């Protein structure tokens, strides 16, 4: 009885402590939410201060947990692409805002997303307003983006790290060999390199070829734009990158016309006064979201549906094929929705899940215009769900293609033998124990599975051929799991036009014959109560790890997927990290 009472008392104390933590967490989150409420009035001579810091994400939501964890743990902040684009658009159309001051500080973003922002800044610049940029450190991507500015400033002790682009890929075979696990691979496509981390210790020649082609396409795009903006040549940029100029004196960057002037951040106030006038006012990104944009509301709506992350990869931040399919089917029957833009930012995933989304996309397309806007990547399953759109837009550096399918089935016999485990079984039929992991597959089982993979590949290429109005043979000739940049995909007919989300929306409006329209985003962002409900779920753990690791979260995610991947996939080489 004494022991029982002790456990009861401990349970009560535990619940009491949990309740206190929950109440503190609740009010902390409410405080975060309340701190950003209220409309913002734009004053005369205002400068929009755009602080590019942290990890860029595709879409914003009132993410109280993210804000709280960032404050409590000094984790990298997240900054949303859609909010940046919204802020730039509002700044362009508000006469009281005289220009944009961009501060770059440890900013992590993929090139395709940077091109989205670049396009918005380019349109802003056409209004005649100024853009100036300051940073202590410019990387390849942030300098590319900054080159659109009227003036580019850097700290006298700062660094311009124009080094060229590198791709790193992690391989698990050595580790798997040590623990006694063999990955049994089934695939179609010479370039379908997503399986290589499990079977090799370095890149295959085919994979090296496609990655080399891809990064050279990106680098050519970057240096051509930078050279044009800065009045220098592509050779000047390559010479700087090859000479190790990023470790040289900062003054050399001014002499070579990469940087306009070396100043301390505190000196930027004088620069801005010369452009916007003394006593100028400032608004930050969080303020811009509360600025009201004067425009006529229209009953005609264009739906922007976000398909972000791996398809049915088991994470709450990825694409749930069932949910996204239901969302699309609802939009197909909603008469207020005149057109749909599917924003795809996905490396692919489940082949079955991709097929379900593909079907729902077709239902929408039969009833109203459907346009795809590709983000950082729309590869493999991400391309599968995109291929039948009325028009496909991609950024020049979008990673797309990777049309191929593979399956991974682990054989853990070596491991179980090492630790002394034994298995035995009885069965009613020949293949009753098909897929058992404690033994290698038989030749007959391998043949059956390979045939199944080939059937999936045949269906995938047929979907692409039908969607793009091409023959299946012509699709197969450029498929084989090979990845392409947006520029190369355009030349091959895999995409229709280079551009971002705004261009895709404009095309959808034109196809639906809309002179005026409003935008509605799907799926709906989570409410505060929904986020509180998830406060102690696995999604919080995942989000915390992502915040702490920043861009290195991709490595963690690759290891996690290596543990989980044991089914049929239409997935790009997900261990790629482009820098």
Other beta carbons within 10 angstroms of residue 39's beta carbon come to 7
DSSP string, 377-417: EEETHHHHTTTTSSEEEE-TT-EEE---EEEEEEE-HHHHH
Question: How far is 73 from 315, CA to CA, in rounded Å?
Answer: 23
Q: Which of 146, 380, 402, 485 is catalytic?
A: 380
Question: What are the contacts of 545-548 at 24+ separation with CB within 8 A?
Answer: 546/55, 547/55, 547/66, 547/69, 547/70, 547/73, 547/75, 547/76, 547/78, 548/73, 548/75, 548/76
Name the token pair of 165.
């682009």
Neighbours of 220 (CB within 10 A): 14
How many angstroms separate the CA atoms of 220 and 212, rounded? Answer: 12
Give the Cβ contact number of residue 559 at 10 Å: 13
Q: Is 579 a catalytic residue?
A: no
Active-site choice (192, 338, 365, 368):
192
How far apart CA 23 and CA 31 sit, in angstroms, is: 12
If one counts every other C-beta atom within 10 angstroms of the C-beta of residue 539, the result is 15
Closest CA to 469 of 496, 501, 506, 507: 496
3-state secondary structure of 153: strand
Query: What radius of gyration, in Å, describes the C-alpha atoms of the chain?
Result: 26
Beta bridge partners of 159: 137
For residue 72, which of 29, 39, 41 has the smallest C-alpha distance?
29
Greatest Cα pair distance in the chain: 86
* CA-wise closest residue to 201 among 181, 168, 174, 182: 174
380 among known catalytic residues? yes
Residues with Cβ within 8 Å of 18's Cβ and at least 6 positions away in sequence, in order, are none
Would you give the distance in Å from CA 25 to the centre of its chain?
Answer: 29
Asked if 97 contacts 127 with a C-beta cutoff of 8 angstroms, the reply is: no
CA 103 to chain centre: 22
Helix or strand or coil: residue 159? strand
Tokens of 571: 């997935």
Is the CB of residue 30 less than 8 Å from the CB of residue 255?
no
DSSP letter for 291, please. B
**Are β-strands 78-80 and 97-108 bridged in parallel, bridged antiparallel, or unpaired?**
unpaired
Half-sphere exposure of 321 (CA within 13 A, CB side): 22
SS3 content of the chain, % helix, strand, coil (to 5): 45, 20, 30
Are the C-beta atoms of residues 143 and 160 closer than 8 Å to each other? yes
Catalytic residues, by residue number, are 192, 380
């Amino acid at each position: 009885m004494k022991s029982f009472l002790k456990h009861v008392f401990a349970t009560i104390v535990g619940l009491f402590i949990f309740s206190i933590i929950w109440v503190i967490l609740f009010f902390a989150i409410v405080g975060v939410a309340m701190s950003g409420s209220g409309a913002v009035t734009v004053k005369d001579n205002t400068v929009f201060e755009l602080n590019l810091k942290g990890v860029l994400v595709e879409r914003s939501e009132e993410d109280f947990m993210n804000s709280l964890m960032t404050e409590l743990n000094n984790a990298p902040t997240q900054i949303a692409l859609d909010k940046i684009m919204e802020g730039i658009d509002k700044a362009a159309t508000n006469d009281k805002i005289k220009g944009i001051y961009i501060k770059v500080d440890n900013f992590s973003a993929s090139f395709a997303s940077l091109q989205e922002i670049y396009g918005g800044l380019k349109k802003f610049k056409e209004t005649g307003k100024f853009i100036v940029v300051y940073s202590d450190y410019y990387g390849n991507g942030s300098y590319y983006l900054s080159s659109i500015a009227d003036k580019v400033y850097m700290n006298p002790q700062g660094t311009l790290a124009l080094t060229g682009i590198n791709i790193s890929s992690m391989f698990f075979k050595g580790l798997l060999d040590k623990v006694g696990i063999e990955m049994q691979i089934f695939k179609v496509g010479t370039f379908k390199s997503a399986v290589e981390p499990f079977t090799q210790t370095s890149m295959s020649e085919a994979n090296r070829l496609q990655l080399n082609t891809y990064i050279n396409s990106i680098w050519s795009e970057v240096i051509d734009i930078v050279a044009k903006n800065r009045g220098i040549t592509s050779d000047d940029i390559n010479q700087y990158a090859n000479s190790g100029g990023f470790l040289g004196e900062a003054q050399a960057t001014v002499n070579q016309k990469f940087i306009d002037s070396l100043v301390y951040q505190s000196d930027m106030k004088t620069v801005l006064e010369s452009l916007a006038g003394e006593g100028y006012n400032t608004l930050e990104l969080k303020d811009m979201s509360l600025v009201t944009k004067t425009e006529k509301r229209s009953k005609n709506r264009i739906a922007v549906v976000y398909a972000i992350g791996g398809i049915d990869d088991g994470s709450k931040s990825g694409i749930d094929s069932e949910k996204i399919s239901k969302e699309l089917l609802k939009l197909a029957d909603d008469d207020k929705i005149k057109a749909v833009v599917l924003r795809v930012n996905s490396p692919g995933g489940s082949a079955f899940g991709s097929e379900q989304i593909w079907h729902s996309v077709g239902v929408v397309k039969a009833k109203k215009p459907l346009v795809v806007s590709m983000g950082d990547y729309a590869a493999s399953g991400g391309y599968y769900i995109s291929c039948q759109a009325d028009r496909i837009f991609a950024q020049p550096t979008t990673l797309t293609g990777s049309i191929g399918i593979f399956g991974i089935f682990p054989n853990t016999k070596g491991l179980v033998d090492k630790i002394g485990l034994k298995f035995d079984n009885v069965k009613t039929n020949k293949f009753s124990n098909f897929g058992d992991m404690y033994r290698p597959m038989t030749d007959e089982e391998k043949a059956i599975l390979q045939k199944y993979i080939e059937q999936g590949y045949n269906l995938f290429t047929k979907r692409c051929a039908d969607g793009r109005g091409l023959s299946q043979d012509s699709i197969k000739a450029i498929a084989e799991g090979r990845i392409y940049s947006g520029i190369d995909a355009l030349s091959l007919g895999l995409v229709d036009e280079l551009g971002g989300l705004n261009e895709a929306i404009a095309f959808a409006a034109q196809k639906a014959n809309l002179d005026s329209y409003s935008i509605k985003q799907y799926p709906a962002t989570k409410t505060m109560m929904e986020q509180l409900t998830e406060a102690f779920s696995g999604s919080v753990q995942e989000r915390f790890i992502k915040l702490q690791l920043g861009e290195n979260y991709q490595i963690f995610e690759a290891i996690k997927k290596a543990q989980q991947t044991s089914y049929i996939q239409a997935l790009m080489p997900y261990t790629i990290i482009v820098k």
